Amino acid sequence: MKKFLLISGLAIGLAASANAQNITVDAGHNGFVGWTETTTNAAFAGSFLGNQPVTNTSGIWGDVSWGLWANSSATVGEVFPLGGNLAVGGSVTITISLGNMDGGSVVGFGLQDSGGNNRFECYYVGGGTDAWKLNDGAQEDIIGPVTTWGYSSWSNSTKQTIKFTLLPSNAYSLSFNNVDATNTGMYLGSSDISQFRIFNYNAGNGASNNQYFNSLSVVPEPSTFALIGLGVAALGIRRMKSRRTA
């Protein structure tokens, strides 16, 4: 009976901990609460809450979104803390819809340590190959999902829901709209990921060059897997003691 109560209590405690630690925020409900903005020049880059009616295969995406604007070689970023280091098995998901982008501009997201050092970035570069790219220490085009377009200044007719999942041994997976990237050598130099960043570098002037982000989700939030591991270990010790007593 005691063993049953211990196991039940542990399961309930872990479930409550996991639910409490999940992060789900969106612009319509949360605005920029919890985010910290940085900009290289506030006169030429900033953020706003706004609607972008983007046509896609499932209809119109007209939700209130986090908007970022930047021109004249300026950069704006918004950083959201994860509350600790992302654990193995944890995932981060963000939805992005790009507006027009001038050649050489860069828009995307990054995963950072607590000091703001990039551990991973995923972004679109205007001009050139016009492809979404990953950067885990070296930049390369995304392989697998269809993420390329043939012109440098464009308006995206779809939204991309991008999911990053941390795997054992600093490996990771990446998907675009549920289609996995098939790049080889997907490993991080370090996996101490504790904050999330969206950014816009110099996308261009005018409303059509605004960039939109929404629906940040972290499942599970950092430390949940560690708690589960401790719980399993505790159960193992309890069982060993019971067997010795018997």
pLDDT on residue 139: 94
Over pLDDT 70: what percentage of the chain?
A: 70
pLDDT in the model for residue 20: 27
pLDDT value of position 18: 32
Q: What average pLDDT score do residues 202-209 get?
A: 92
Is the separation of the CB atoms in 160 and 97 below 8 Å? yes
Cβ atoms of residues 197 and 112 within 8 Å: yes
pLDDT higher than threshold 60 for residue 236? no
Higher pLDDT, 226 or 16: 226
Identify the residue with better confidence: 235 or 22: 22
Contact between 202 and 124 (Cβ < 8 Å): no
Q: Please, what are the domains in the chain? A: 20-221 (2.60.120.200)
- What does the pLDDT look like over 1-22, one tens digit per residue? 444 344 334 333 333 333 224 7
pLDDT tens, position by position, 68-79: 999 999 999 999
Q: Which amino acid, 41?
A: N
DSSP state of 168: G
Q: Is the pLDDT of residue 200 over 60?
A: yes
pLDDT greater at residue 227 or residue 22: 22
Give the range among 49-58, 86-95, 174-183 with minimum mean pLDDT: 49-58
Instruction: Give the closest residue to 121 by CA, choosing from 195, 62, 50.
Output: 195
Instruction: Name the least confident of 124-133, 171-180, 195-204.
Output: 124-133
Average model confidence (pLDDT) across the chain: 78
Q: What are phi and psi of 21, to 5 degrees?
A: -95, -10
Residues 6 or more apart in contact with residue 30 via CB below 8 angstroms: none
So what's the pLDDT on residue 127?
76
Whether residue 201 has pLDDT greater than 70: yes
Residue 151, pLDDT > 50, answer: no
Contact 131, 142 (CB under 8 A): yes
Reported confidence tier of residue 62, pLDDT bands at 50, 70, 90: low
Compute the radius of gyration of the chain from its Cα atoms: 21
pLDDT tens per residue across span 111-150: 999 999 999 999 998 876 667 899 999 999 899 887 655 4
| Sign of the torsion formed by the C-alpha atoms of 35, 41, 47 and 52 | negative
Assign 158 a pLDDT band (cuts: 50, 70, 90): low
Which amino acid is present at 32?
F
| Percent of residues, the chain, with pLDDT higher than 90 | 54
Is the pTM of the predicted complex or chain greater than 0.85? no
Kindly tell me if the per-residue pLDDT of 203 is higher than 50.
Answer: yes
Residue 24 bridge partners (DSSP) = 217
* Spatial contact of 222 and 83, defined as CB atoms under 8 Å apart: yes
**pLDDT confidence of residue 198:** 98
